[in-house]
């Protein structure tokens, strides 16, 4: 869909979408080189939902970019939390609509206007996210490494990580996870994360390997390089520490 249609669908202005593109937070799926028109797709919409979730939690755009770019970002959890918050909002709106019906009959139940449940959930999710991302040594190190990085450089860093994933996909059908080639790529993955994100300790690498197959969203994204890529990487990481 074109940028204006995407803006209407998401409730974000075209100017904001241009800015998100500029800082590398949300890139268009396609840009026409001749006229500069931006087009967005289903993945763009999923990305926007994640951005809006963290905006709802009052995270600054710079922090959201770092979170979404992290190799251990848990997309599935973020989307589930967003759904829970939206459900609470929906329930409150339904109560308000019922209150208006009551008002037409001459009375309004005042507790209808309370928003405690939503605010409590919002605070809980924000605290959890900050504890998960903002308070860890890994994230602090990540912030230091990416401090002052341009949007283009951060985009290139993520592209580099995806390239390593693609290398796993290229060999998964011809070698075993125990092979020298697969093990060399595990070492390369660990070093790439250390060089560009945070120190990828054995514990962190093991955790990533488990998440690549346990989290369906993670697995789906990785397997876009080829069915079974996530499982292959996970198995190769297991072997790496045997």
pLDDT surpasses 70 at 125: no
Reported pTM:
0.52
Selection from 113-122, 198-207, 208-217, 223-232 with the highest mean pLDDT: 223-232
Burial label, 170 (beta-carbon count in 10 A; 0-12, 13-18, 19+): middle
Element (H, E) at 139: helix 137-146
pLDDT at 118: 62
Number of H helices, E strands in the chain: 12, 2
pLDDT in tens, 27-73: 898 888 888 889 999 888 988 888 887 887 777 787 788 778 777 67
pLDDT at 84: 79
Q: Output the CA–CA distances (angstroms, integers) from residue 193 to 50, 64, 69, 208, in the order listed.
A: 23, 19, 11, 11
pLDDT at 3: 92
């Amino acid at each position: 869909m074109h940028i204006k249609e995407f803006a209407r669908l998401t409730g974000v202005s075209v100017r904001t979408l241009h800015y998100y593109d500029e800082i590398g937070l949300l890139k268009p799926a396609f840009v026409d080189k001749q006229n500069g028109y931006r087009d967005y797709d289903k993945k763009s919409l999923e990305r926007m939902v994640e951005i809006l979730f963290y905006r709802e939690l009052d995270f600054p755009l710079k922090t959201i970019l770092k979170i979404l770019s992290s190799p251990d970002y848990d997309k599935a959890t973020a989307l589930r939390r967003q759904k829970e918050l939206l459900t609470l909002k929906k329930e409150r709106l339904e109560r308000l609509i019922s209150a208006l019906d009551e008002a037409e009959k001459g009375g309004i139940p005042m507790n209808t206007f309370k928003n405690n449940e939503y605010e409590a959930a919002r605070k809980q999710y924000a605290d959890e996210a900050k504890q998960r991302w903002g308070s860890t040594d890994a994230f602090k190190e990540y912030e230091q490494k990416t401090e002052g990085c341009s949007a283009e450089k951060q985009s290139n860093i993520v592209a580099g990580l995806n390239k390593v994933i693609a290398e796993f996909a290229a060999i998964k059908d011809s070698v075993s996870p125990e092979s020298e080639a697969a093990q060399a790529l595990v070492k390369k993955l660990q070093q790439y994360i250390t060089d560009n994100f945070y120190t990828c300790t054995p514990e962190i690498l093991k955790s990533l390997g488990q998440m690549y197959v346990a989290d369906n969203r993670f697995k789906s994204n990785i397997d876009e390089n080829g069915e079974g890529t996530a499982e292959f990487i996970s198995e190769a990481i297991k072997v790496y520490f045997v």
